[in-house]
Amino acid sequence: MIAARAYMPDGRIGTGLERLEVEVSRLMALFAEAGAQKVEPGALLDADVLLDLYGEDIRGRAYVTQDPVLGERMLRPDFTVPVTQMHAAHGAEPARYAYAGPVWRRQEPGSGRPTEYLQVGFEIFDASDAARVDAEVFALFSAALAGQGLAVETGDLGVLFAAIDALDIDARRAGMLRRHVWRPKRFRRVLDTFSNTTRRAALLDQTVEDWRAAALTASPQNGIRSVDEVIARLSDLAAERELPELSGEQRQMLQQVLDTKGSLFSALTELTELSHNFPPLAKAAQRLEARIAALDAAGLDGGALPFAASFGRTTMEYYDGFVFGFVDRERPDLPPVASGGRYDALTAALGPAIPAVGGIIRPEALLSRKAAS
Amino acid sequence: MKLGLPSKGRLQADAISWFSQFRIEISRTDGGREYAGSVIGLDGIELVLLSAGEIPRELAAGRIHLGVTGTDLVREKIADPSVITPVQEMGFGHADLIVAVPKLWIDVDTMDDLDDVAARFRADHGMRLRVATKYHNLVRRYFSEHGVADYVLVDSQGATEGTIKNETAEVVADITSSGETLRANHLKILSDAPILKSQATLFASATAAWSPETRQIADELAARMSVASFTPPAQQK
């Protein structure tokens, strides 16, 4: 057991370890050939940065430890954040980085998923032609995994954001939807509240003076959220009752975009069609078109790639554009052997907005398939 | 067979009288000051007096065979539910783990509201809405199930209801039975179902060393309680 590592019962000793080292070197050599500079971020990260970015949920997924001086530290749950920080501090654009090392994840008891595993990754920070850069990363991962018999999945969270824009609704409501793109259940709840105009009608019918009196009768000022904030929100809620409900056509469009599944080409056709009535979707369609052309130019059959608009929606928070995964359909016990995508929103949250796209390969999962086959 | 009981208080007194219905008489030595006691009525039970909060851990580690504690503490502290088996709910120590906000927040009734408030609060105050609790795991899971973002848990091991007035939190998630402390601190409970409904429960450890002798005692206890045998299946050698 002591020689076991993620997906490889003998991965820490002898030939198992050698095979792994050879595979990691092969991938790192490929990434270096693609122009990447090697980086090695620290394993202990500032917990505040990750908490700000991912919210409290990250505590359930990462190991937290305490330093008497530095405060809360987290064992690196991924490389994206520290690599982005390194780039922001030292890098000049455009830049390509490669890295290899362990990440640590807390797992639900009984899930059987490893708490420590290797990632070999590649990231590009480049503000030029997004379609070309997306295609470069995808083509690189395709080449690295060629002949492995893995199924490809792609998606684009930017298409979902475009569908929200295409609803052409009140800015606050659009913001609520955008905020919860990665949480489908909450997204649905938010949509439902748009059509629920009867909830708390008695309260919302009252005047600002009534609300102030009601709040201050209920309780003295308690805590830092003020009566004015309560009243401001009630005013917004009351005003929102006057907004039109989503039309059947709007709902149908949103659902159709969320359900889009097929090839990149069929998705392009579908979005182009929808954009006649919902013009903001035209931009998303153009992005798919540019992606197909860029993938074709990189020597891949872009239009034929599988595409699902909702792919990566629940698992890849902070990816906000093109996303991809390489999976083994015969091995549901394995995570995606590789995954990645565009994360412009993450760099913007960490500091200066730098368009960025990248991905990781899980070499242990990759080798465990070879052992099994 | 080691039986863990809360070391003091109402929970202990209720547990002692609960066991007496099964002809098991527990008495504290030295008028209750010394943390020791004796068990009469079923031979071979050794009493271990512990803080109720430590009983889940001792059960999980297999250092005690049986223990009395609240479901809330077991669910919060034990990540792997398979190591502790609930034997019988005891019908006292009822309490709900709930989410409460200031009564002043007349705009908030549900977790849906709370999520919306969290987003606005972060925009207005430049920090995430602070939720004071000692039940970090249960609360995080509950907020995650409700898809609430933009909040942060702050640890509060006691007097949690006071954290809002002290301006160290905006929301509390705590155990309550009558709700009186909440009311006294000008707080109200959200109308969603509670995070957890808890009560005092007799638990058995699946990891303790269950010898033929301890199994026999446990089976006798199970028979008196009219419940199925709760000892784990004997390990195949």
Question: Using one digit for the tens of pLDDT, what is the confidence trace for A251-286?
Answer: 999 999 999 999 999 999 999 999 999 999 999 999
Residue of B nearest to A201 (CA): B107
User: How wide is the angle at C-alpha A167 spanned by C-alphas A161 and A168, nearest 5°?
Assistant: 105
CB distance from A109 to chain B under 8 Å? yes
Residue keyed to tokens 């069929």: A266
Contacts of A203 in chain B (CB under 8 A): 106-107
Q: Which fold has domain A1-149+351-373?
A: BirA Bifunctional Protein; domain 2 (3.30.930)
The string of pLDDT tens digits covering residues A45-66 is: 999 999 888 888 888 889 999 9
**A203 interface with B at CB cutoff 8 Å:** yes
Read off the pLDDT band of A110 (50, 70, 90). Answer: confident
What residues contact A12, with CB distance under 8 A and at least 6 apart? A2, A3, A4, A5
* Alpha helices for chain A (secondary structure H): 14-33, 47-54, 57-61, 80-90, 130-144, 157-167, 171-179, 184-195, 201-204, 208-218, 227-240, 248-259, 264-275, 281-297, 344-350, 363-372
Pair of tokens at residue A141: 């991962």
Residue B224 DSSP class: H
Amino acid in position A196: N
CB contact under 8 A, A219 and B148: no
pLDDT at B236: 47
Beta carbon pairs, A and B, within 8 Å: 106
pLDDT per residue as tens digits for the range A162-194: 999 999 999 999 999 998 888 888 899 899 888
| Residue A164: predicted pLDDT | 96
Does B167 sit within 8 Å of A223, measured CB to CB? yes
Greatest Cα pair distance in chain B: 64
Q: What is the pTM of this model?
A: 0.85
- Which run of H or of E encompasses B51? none
Torsion of CA A194, A199, A203, A206, to 10 degrees: 50
Query: Whole-angstrom Cα distance, residue A322 to residue A301?
Result: 16
A202 close to B (CB below 8 A): no
Top residue of A61, A108, A204, A233 to mutate, by most chain B CBs within 10 Å, is: A233
Q: What is the mean pLDDT of residues A125-150?
A: 96
- Cα-Cα-Cα-Cα torsion A15, A21, A23, A27, nearest 10 degrees, comes to 180
- Give me the pLDDT at residue A371, please: 65
Which residue from B115, B151, B170 is facing A225, i.e. has the nearest CB? B170
Which of A42, A41, A62, A43 has its CA nearest to residue A51? A62
**B79 vs A109, A183, A211: nearest CB:** A109
Which domains, ranges and CATH numbers included, belong to chain B? 2-93+199-225 (3.40.190.10), 95-197 (3.40.190.10)
Where chain B has pLDDT below 70, the residues are 30-33, 235-237
d(CA A141, CA A228): 53
Q: Is A183 on the interface with B (CB under 8 A)?
A: yes
Backbone angles phi, psi at A318, to 5 degrees: 85, -10
Residues of B in contact with A230 (CB under 8 A): 104-107
Q: Rounded mean pLDDT of A307-334?
A: 88
Backbone torsion region of residue B148, taken as left when φ is above 0, otherwise alpha when ψ lies between -120 and 50, otherwise beta? beta
Quote the CA–CA distance of B114 and B131 in Å, as a whole number: 11
Q: How many CA atoms, within 13 angstroms, populate the side-chain half-sphere of residue A105?
A: 17
Rounded to whole angstroms, the Cα distance separating A253 from A19 reads 50
Residues in contact with B190: Cβ distance below 8 Å, sequence separation at least 6, in sequence order = B98, B99, B100, B101, B108, B109, B110, B111, B114
| A372 pLDDT higher than 60 | no
Q: Is B152 in Cβ contact with A56 (below 8 Å)?
A: yes
Whether the pLDDT of residue A104 is over 70: the answer is: yes
- Known binding-site residue numbers of A for L-histidine: 78-80, 105, 119, 123, 313, 318-319
Tokens linked to A354 = 């730098």
Residue whose pair of structure tokens reads 């394993």 in the numeric block: A43
> Cβ distance B130 to B151 under 8 Å?
yes
Judged against a pLDDT cut of 70, whether residue A6 lies above it is answered with: yes
What does the alpha-carbon distance between residue A95 and residue A101 come to, in Å, rounded to a whole number? 20
- For residue A218, the chain B residues in CB contact (below 8 A) are 103-104, 106, 186
A188 touching B (Cβ < 8 Å): no
Identify the CA nearest to B114 among candidates A233, A178, A227, A239.
A233
Q: Is A221 on the interface with B (CB under 8 A)?
A: yes
Q: Which residues of B lie inside 8 Å of A (Cβ-Cβ)?
A: 79-82, 102-107, 109, 112, 115-117, 119-121, 124-125, 128, 136-137, 140-141, 143-144, 146-153, 164-165, 167, 169-170, 185-187
Q: Can you name the residues that pair with A100 across neighbouring β-strands? A: A120
* Segments of chain A assigned to CATH 3.30.930.10: 1-149+351-373
- CA A111 – CA A105 distance, rounded (Å): 12
